[in-house]
Amino acid sequence: MAKSKQAALIGEVGEAFIANYLKKKGYAILAQNWRIREGEIDIVALSPTGKITFVEVKSRSSLAYGHPLESITREKAYRLQRLALAWLVSNSKFGADFQIDAAAVIISPSGGVEIDYREAVL
Amino acid sequence: MTIGVTHGVSLIGLSGTLVQIEVDISDGLPHYSLLGLPDLALMESRDRVRSALVNSRELWPNKKVTVSLSPAWLPKSGSNFDLPIAVAILAAQEVIPIERVVGSVFFGELALDGRIREARGVLPALISLLGSQIKRVIVPMANAAEAKLVSGLEIIPMENISELLKWLRSGIRVEVNELFPPLAERNFKDLSDVAGQLEARYALEVAATGGHHILMIGPPGTGKTMLAERLPSLLPELGEKDALEVSAIHSVAGVLKERGLFSKEPPFIAPHHTTTRTAMVGGGSSVLKPGACSLAHNGVLFIDEAPECVSGVLDALRQPLESGQITITRAIGSATFPANFILVLAANPCPCGRLSGRGRGCTCSSLQIRRYLNRLSGPLIDRVDLRIKVEPPTRTAFASGEGGESSALVRERVATARLRSVRRFKSLKISRNAEIPAFALRNEFKAERRGMSLLHSEMDRENLTARGFHKVLRLSWSIADLAEHDLPLLEDVQRALSLRDGMDLFE
């Protein structure tokens, strides 16, 4: 993928922010950037209520190209669902209760960070 | 979040349906779904509405937006739902008060910068709102004058979204100087331009009086087109109701500007002979548009070089000629447009066009000539009351401008004659001699006895069919009205016969 260095950096920073955000809320991070041939899951976490939570993180440096979460198309959503099942299977947790969240992180050049976290949207 | 509700109008043909627009904004990924059988242009409203709102510094919800247009089974088309959708989205976000939204209908397409663009079909849409619970309509500024032709609704013209929202929030409206275009003087091509052509002039006068259809046959360059163009100038000005009807049809077709908003002129529509059936009678897949014959409603439909018309196009006119309206049915529904016009057909006497006078120089074989004129089908020609030959003007007529009466003069005679006929029709629901039903012609609308026996003997000699018999009688009435006779005399009937069978080409 021809991702520029800066964009990759923003992505990394965004994911780190969300991991932190979840930890603060009492989540345990099970995996980060879990990757198979089909694609990648940004964050897998266990919620305080014991629910396995998959998080897709979208980071942007501005809203100039629209809301980050808009770039999650229907196909991407389906792929995330397949990935989530694949993770559950390969971690012998198939059948466990799970949900897929989406998080938008807007990192402005001045250093401000804005998080838009939406639960169970996929 | 609440559900935002606004109203719009879906227009099929000339009839509008009130459409309720509901917007629900719920948590979830940013998504926009539009329900209620939208067509492609309406599907694209999402991007127009979004840009318009964002560029007007309003909120676009980055959430799951569901827009529902009900009744859901009714296919909806066009961009006129942009405005009600935009307002409903804001109402769902509770960023505007709804007191001025309730009971209003919004109409208009949005430009990306938030301007409200001119819409098609405003007039018929508003007419169909009369009598509903809707009392207030927000229309594009460019349609303000058109919308105000409809009385009984509060019309609020708006230039752009910001102005509209300012009004919705505060009730304050930017004052507009409504520029009403001045009422145009009757601007006609005048009959006095035509040199000579006494018979053709008279035929036009009769056609204008009784609403008779007319066929002119003559070599090129004798003035058939010139004469036809001057027929509207002989017709009386349209009444309030008729003019509004014509304006509504032109509004749906998107050509009201060209016609002029307050025009009371009878329209003159001259489709080219290569025109398609759809263009002639109307049609379209997502928007049902009126055709030439409806645009010519209450006016004149002129088809030059009629035998050259694509086959079937002229015959498609048979329904409107018979019933004064045309019904078009397509997948999205069916629409009925009025189409009550005076048909004027022009044709050359033969394919080469030189068969007149002694026919010198004509190179056509008799078979060619027959084939050429046979392209005008019998059933169509049978509906044409007046069939005249137009010969080149004589030298003297040409030089002296003989018979150069002006349109105004003739129009006055036509108006007087029409008054006579209308007075006679009091019990019948008709307004023109061409519409007198056959049974009435055989009873209360008979001609003078000698005239009737002439017609009967013509029938006996098989010069006249039963339909022809009635047509000649109708013509006789128009001629009698012009001559201020109380009933058609023998001379009127004779003249009618000569105007109907001015040529032997079809017999």
Residue B507 has pLDDT above 50, yes or no: no
Q: What H or E segment, with its residue span, contains residue B67?
A: strand B64-70
Q: pLDDT band at B402, cuts 50/70/90?
A: low
Residue B504 has pLDDT above 80, yes or no: no
Decide: A19 and A32 in contact? Cβ < 8 Å: yes
Alpha-carbon distances of A65 from A59, A60, A62, B293, rounded to whole Å: 12, 9, 7, 50
DSSP result, B422-451: HHHTTTSS--SGGG--HHHHHTTT---HHH
Residue B502 has pLDDT above 80, yes or no: no
Say yes or no for a CB contact (<8 Å) between A121 and B27.
Answer: yes
Per CB-CB distance under 8 Å, the chain A contacts of B62 are 67, 69-70, 116
Minimal C-alpha gap between A80 and chain B (Å): 14
Shortest CB distance from B62 goes to which of A67, A77, A122?
A67
Whether A77 has its CB under 8 Å from any CB of chain B: the answer is yes
Domain extent listing, chain A: 5-52+64-108
- Distance CA(B22)–CA(B88), nearest Å, equals 7
Tokens found for residue B89: 């989205």
Quote the ipTM score: 0.72
pLDDT of residue A43: 95
Residue B132 has pLDDT above 80, yes or no: yes
The average pLDDT across B432-437 equals 88
Spell out the alpha helix ranges (H) of B283-430: 292-295, 318-323, 366-374, 378-382, 395-400, 407-424
Whether A100 has its CB under 8 Å from any CB of chain B: the answer is no
User: Which of B27, B62, B63, B64 is the best mutation test for A, with the most CBs of A within 10 A?
Assistant: B62
Shortest CA distance to B228 belongs to which of B185, B270, B196? B270
Minimal C-alpha gap between B31 and chain A (Å): 7
Per CB-CB distance under 8 Å, the chain B contacts of A116 are 62
Say yes or no for a CB contact (<8 Å) between B28 and A121.
Answer: yes
Decide: B45 and B79 in contact? Cβ < 8 Å: yes
- Distance CA(B71)–CA(B18), nearest Å, equals 9
B/e letters for B332-360, b = 16+ CB within 10 Å, e = fewer, are beebbbbbbbbbbbbbbbbbbbbbbeeee
- Distance CA(B85)–CA(B83), nearest Å, equals 5
pLDDT of residue A1: 47
Calculate ∠ Cα B200-B203-B208, nearest 5°.
130
CA B49 to chain CA centroid, nearest Å: 33
- Distance CA(A33)–CA(A56), nearest Å, equals 10
B contact residues 34-63, partner A, Cβ 8 Å cutoff: 62
- Distance CA(B4)–CA(B113), nearest Å, equals 23
Per CB-CB distance under 8 Å, the chain B contacts of A72 are 29
A14 forms beta bridges with none
The average pLDDT across A30-40 equals 92
Q: pLDDT band at B266, cuts 50/70/90?
A: very high
Alpha-carbon distances of B267 from B259, B292, B299, rounded to whole Å: 8, 11, 5
Say yes or no for a CB contact (<8 Å) between B27 and A77.
Answer: no
Per CB-CB distance under 8 Å, the chain B contacts of A77 are 29
Q: What H or E segment, with its residue span, contains residue B9?
A: strand B4-12
> Within 13 Å and on the Cβ side, how many CA atoms surround B193?
14
To the nearest whole number, what is the mean pLDDT of chain B?
88
Could you say which of 3.40.50.300, 3.40.250.10, 3.40.1350.10, 1.10.3720.10 is the CATH number of the domain covering A5-52+64-108?
Answer: 3.40.1350.10
What pLDDT, in 10s, does the model give residues B70-101?
Answer: 999 998 988 899 999 999 999 999 999 988 99
Per CB-CB distance under 8 Å, the chain A contacts of B29 are 69-70, 72, 77, 102, 118, 121-122
